Amino acid sequence: MGLAIDKVIVTLFVLEDQIKLNAIKTVAKLKQEGIEVYMISGDNEVITRGVATATAIGIEHYFANIQPLDKANIIKKLQKQGKKVAFVGDGVNDSVALQQADLSIAMGTGAEIAVNLSDIIIIKPDVLNIYKAIVLTKQTRRVIWTNFMWAFGYNLIALPVAMLSGWFWISIPNFEFAIFAAAAMAFSDITVVLNSLYFRWKKIKY
């Protein structure tokens, strides 16, 4: 924009999008996790390319001039390629894409419909929290599977032992093999609880 006095331009103003705080760090850390980063924008090609390909950010995959329904279509194409897609949005025009994505993430400061449709809501308006949410989700899943394997393993061992102990108890009076099965089951519960508490105590570096 230009400011003119007596039809003579004396000042020029250049307006441009500001890259969000921690955006560079967030993209870099997502890439470290092996996550491909795509930018889908309704802005024109020049603005979108300028932000996406900025040296500091380096988003290789970007789409410009995209309508709301086309955002969902892009996600569908990625899903057909066998990719699991997480979509981050905060506006009404992101609602269809949020529904289509495998994991939908909304910024808490965004439109109400985007918040209601999302699996994860980022309360604080810091894009780094997107990375944190993904890391915590992976850690939570790891804890759940570890607990499952411990519990399943103990049951796999303890149940046959309990059955054998019942047979031995009938055959041999005062046989106390069942105590070992009961102890194994109790230790299974303790292991699951301690594993879950470890997740709470663990310091995760972002």
Encode pLDDT of 158-195 as tens digits.
667 666 665 555 555 555 555 666 666 677 777 778 87
Dihedral angle computed from the Cα positions of residues 174, 177, 183 and 186, in that order, rounded to the nearest 10 degrees: -100
List the chain residues with pLDDT less than 50: none
Residue whose structure tokens are 């500001």: 18
60 and 81 both lie in a single domain: yes
101 and 33 both lie in a single domain: yes
138 and 99 both lie in a single domain: no
Q: Domain range spanning residue 176?
A: 134-201
The CA–CA distances, whole Å, from 86 to 38, 108, 112, 144 equal 10, 16, 19, 21
120 and 146 both lie in a single domain: no
34 and 103 both lie in a single domain: yes
Looking at the domain assignment, is residue 5 inside a domain? no
Percentage above 70 pLDDT, the chain? 82
Looking at the domain assignment, is residue 150 inside a domain? yes
pLDDT of residue 140: 85
- 106: domain CATH number is 3.40.50.1000
pTM across the whole model: 0.71
pLDDT of residue 147: 81
109 and 139 both lie in a single domain: no
pLDDT of residue 20: 79
116 and 143 both lie in a single domain: no
Q: Of 108, 126, 144, which residue is a domain's last?
A: 126
Domain count, the chain: 2
